[in-house]
Each structure stands twice: as structure tokens, then as C-alpha cells.
Amino acid sequence: MARTVVWSLYALLLALAPMIFTSSLSQTLLCQMGIAIIVCLSYNMLLGQGGMLSFGHAVYSGMGAFLAIHTLNRVSDGLALPVSLIPLVGGFASLALAGVLGWITTKKAATPFAMITLGMGELVWAMALMFPGFFGGEAGVSGNRVAGSPVFGISFGPQIELYYLIAAYTFVCTALMYAFTRTPLGRMLNAVRDNPERVAFVGYNPQMVRYLAFVIAAFFAGISGGLAALNFEIVTSEVLSGHRSGAYLLFTFLGGTTFFFGPIIGAILMVLAFVLLSGLTQAWLLYLGLIFIVMVMVAPGGVASLIMANLRLARHGFSRRLWVSYLALWLTGLLSLAGAAALLEMVYHLQLDAALGPELSFIGITLNVKGFDSWIGSGLVMLTGLGLFALCRRQFVQDIKLPEAS
């Protein structure tokens, strides 16, 4: 019953999101979030469920995008194929590619597997520049998603029409990947992750289990690539790069690999970081790196683990006793973050924007990179926030343990 409610709420959220966030920017972000959810969930099939650290997952989402954009151009030339089915072309193309490359890649596990995927990723990315006839060179391959005959009056020209196509694929793919975790193959994949020797002892081939999971994950990654091709109407070699694979790894981990919904959170964070955070500051990659380090040290289970831990506290009646501590942690954390961010922004301004003058605006406050008061003040704010955060965190832990002791 609870599972039905969760899936119903998920479908309702996908359906109502563009009605709540009505601006064109919001619809663009929602489309990208749906695409990112599929690819991050597919990546977690490897990392979270199978223990396979891949540095080349972008190969399969990228090749799906390239096959989809070429198919879209064939539809424009008269091929009788609905545009709504083009993402499936990308999915099956990536599945076929993974069927070839995956057999070699999955012969090893752990660190050798990661190194092989890195090599495969660099190999395919280099080939994208060697064969401009297919990959389009540095300019990439462009297309027009308003192709073929409209189905029920839907041409996918307006962004809202494309959003609902992406939302439908997102819901179906999410449901299928969740169902995979409940299949014997999904359970065996968990066993291969935890103890491959025992799996081999009971008669299963760990390499075959990894291979099948690898191919299935590539299929869903190809679907996300096909949706991205329809969304952006252009595909470049960047979609095959190691940078893209690293982004999948980073944000899937930040969301939480031990929970099924963790990559969904990570996908949302990835779009917000790439689209919004990158537009707010030049130091956005540095912020991401710092956040990743902090999460690894403080919450290696990702954001999902923090959510589940706090839900357990709420289930045992701790929320009413801890709301003051929660508020104090948030305020002191934001205070220390503001001080650290002010220092970073001044450093970037001094190095990159010195020609614009010594002053910059930061959250409504004017800072002077040549004035000691701005540097000292920002440092004091950061240190004060860190000190208060440590005290509040210690009190928070004591408040949790106290009822248990009593």
C-alpha cells in the first residue's frame, strides 16, 4: 500500500510540475532533470547495486544521443517513425554497443573494471574527433525535433509537449529499473557486489551477472541520451567525454548510492549545479569539489542517507525535541558557508576580474578585495560559524543519546 502511494505521488509530481513551475526556464530545467534522473539511475545499477565503479558511462548515453539525432534527421527526410519512439532507438543502440564492449569490460571487477571503463571512454571520445562524418566533428550533429507527421496534434515543438514525453519516459524507466532490483538477476547482482566468490561457489557466473547488468544499464543510459538529443536538438562529442562520466559519478554519489531514490536527488542537484550554480559564480566547480569532500567525510551515504536518518528520528518522536537543534545547525552551517564563500569569491575576483575594480557584491554586501576588513571579516564569520556549528552538533548528538539513556 505504501509503495503504491509513493509511486502515485511520483507520477503526480511529474504531471503537475510544469503547472507549478510555469516559466520557460523552469520547463527547461524540468526536462533536463527528467533526462538526468534516468541516466543517474542507470549508473547506480552499476555502482550502487553492482559495486562497479565506471568512468565511461557517458559512452552509452552519448552514443544513444548520436544514434537518436541521426534517426531524427532520417525522420525529417521521410522515415516513417514517430518522434516519440526515437529515444528507444538510442536505448537499443547503446544496448548493442554495450553487448560488444561490455563483454570485455566486465571480465574484471573492482579497480581493473574501473580502469577498463576509463580506457573505453577515452577510446570512444577520441574516435568522435577522428570520424567527423558520423560524430560531426567539433560542431556536432544537429536536428529538428519537429519532424514527421504530428500524432494527435502533438509535434513536440513547444517545450511543454516535450516535457511530458520526457516525464513519461522518466516514470516508465524509473519503474522498470526499480522492478529490476526485485528480480532474481537484481538480487544476484547485489550478491556479486558483496561476495562474488560465494556466488561462483553456488553455481552462478559473476562475470555474466555483471555483463547483463552492464548491458541493461547501457540501454537506459541510451534512452536518456535519446531524450537529450530531442531536448537540445544538437549532439556534440562532449556527451562522450570523461567529464560527463565524472559528473554522473559525482552526483549519483552525492544523492546516495545505497538507496534507490538517491540518484534521483543527485540528478536534480546535477541540473541545478550545471544550470543555476554555474550562472551565479565562476567558482562553482570549486564549490562542487568542496561539497563532495564534505559529503564523503560526513555523510558517505549521500543526501538520501541523511533524509532516511532524520525520518527514523521523526518516527521515534525525536523531531519535537530536536527542532531547536535542527534550526541551530542550519543557521550556523549557513553562517560558516557564507564566510567561506565570501573568501572564495574575493579570491576569484582578485585573480580573474581585477580589471573590474576592487569591489564586488556578495549576497547584497559590498566587499573590497584590497581592504583588510573584508578579508578579516569574512574569515571571522567563517570561523565563528564553524565553531558554533561544532558546538550545536555536539549538543545535537547529546540530545539524541539522552532519551536513549533514560
pLDDT tens-place string over residues 225-245: 999 999 999 999 999 998 999
d(CA 162, CA 315): 40
Q: Is 333 exposed, middle or buried (0-12, 13-18, 19+ CB in 10 A)?
A: middle
Asked if the structure places residue 308 within a domain, the reply is: no
pLDDT tens-place string over residues 303-336: 998 888 878 877 777 667 777 778 888 899 899 9
What are the E-state strand segments in 135-252?
141-142, 234-235
Task: Please report which confidence band the pLDDT of residue 31 belongs to, taking 50, 70 and 90 as the band edges.
Answer: very high
Q: Is 177 exposed, middle or buried (0-12, 13-18, 19+ CB in 10 A)?
A: buried
Cβ(244)–Cβ(63) below 8 Å:
no
Percent of the chain beyond pLDDT 70? 97
Task: Give pTM, 2 decimals.
Answer: 0.91
Same domain, 205 and 346: no
Same domain, 50 and 125: yes
Same domain, 296 and 374: no
Look up residue 258 and give its DSSP letter: S
Q: Please say if the pLDDT value at position 246 is more than 60.
A: yes
Mean pLDDT, range 149-155, rounded to an integer? 78
pLDDT, the chain, mean = 89
The three grid cell numbers given for residue 271, joined into one nine-digit string: 541540473
Same domain, 188 and 43: yes
Consecutive H or E run containing 146: none
The three grid cell numbers given for residue 308, joined into one nine-digit string: 532516511
Task: Please report which confidence band the pLDDT of residue 402 belongs to, taking 50, 70 and 90 as the band edges.
Answer: low
pLDDT tens-place string over residues 178-190: 999 999 999 999 9
Same domain, 174 and 323: no
Mean pLDDT, range 184-198, rounded to an integer? 92
Total domains present in the chain: 2
Lowest-pLDDT choice from 95-99, 110-114, 360-364: 360-364
Q: Using the 3D structure, point to which of 255, 273, 301 is the last residue of a domain.
A: 301
Mean pLDDT, range 384-389, rounded to an integer? 91
Q: Please say if the pLDDT value at position 405 is more than 60.
A: no
Same domain, 285 and 320: no
Asked if the structure places residue 93 within a domain, the reply is: yes
Asked if the structure places residue 310 within a domain, the reply is: no
Cβ(94)–Cβ(217) below 8 Å:
no
- In angstroms, how far is CA 293 from the centroid of its own chain? 17
Asked if the structure places residue 175 within a domain, the reply is: yes
Task: Please report which confidence band the pLDDT of residue 401 belongs to, taking 50, 70 and 90 as the band edges.
Answer: low
Helix, strand, coil content of the chain in percent (nearest 5): 75, 5, 20
pLDDT tens-place string over residues 59-92: 999 999 999 999 999 998 888 889 999 999 999 9
User: β-strand 141-142 against 365-368: which pairing, if any?
Assistant: unpaired
Compute the residue count for the chain.
406
Same domain, 358 and 294: no
Cβ(47)–Cβ(53) below 8 Å:
yes
Q: Which residues, 6 or more positions from 279, have their beta carbon under 8 angstroms from its beta carbon?
A: none
d(CA 178, CA 222): 18
d(CA 161, CA 200): 48
Asked if the structure places residue 364 within a domain, the reply is: yes
The CATH number of the domain holding residue 81 is 1.10.3470
Task: Please report which confidence band the pLDDT of residue 35 belongs to, taking 50, 70 and 90 as the band edges.
Answer: very high
Task: Please report which confidence band the pLDDT of residue 406 belongs to, taking 50, 70 and 90 as the band edges.
Answer: very low
Same domain, 224 and 370: no
Q: Using the 3D structure, point to which of 301, 327, 356 is the last residue of a domain.
A: 301
Q: Using the 3D structure, point to which of 301, 335, 365 is the last residue of a domain.
A: 301
Asked if the structure places residue 67 within a domain, the reply is: yes
Q: Is 34 exposed, middle or buried (0-12, 13-18, 19+ CB in 10 A)?
A: buried
Question: Which one-letter amino acid corresponds to residue 130?
Answer: M
Query: What is the per-residue pLDDT for 326?
Result: 81
Segments forming the whole domain that contains residue 346 = 316-405
Same domain, 168 and 222: yes
Asked if the structure places residue 307 within a domain, the reply is: no
Same domain, 82 and 185: yes
Same domain, 351 and 221: no
Asked if the structure places residue 306 within a domain, the reply is: no
Same domain, 19 and 111: yes
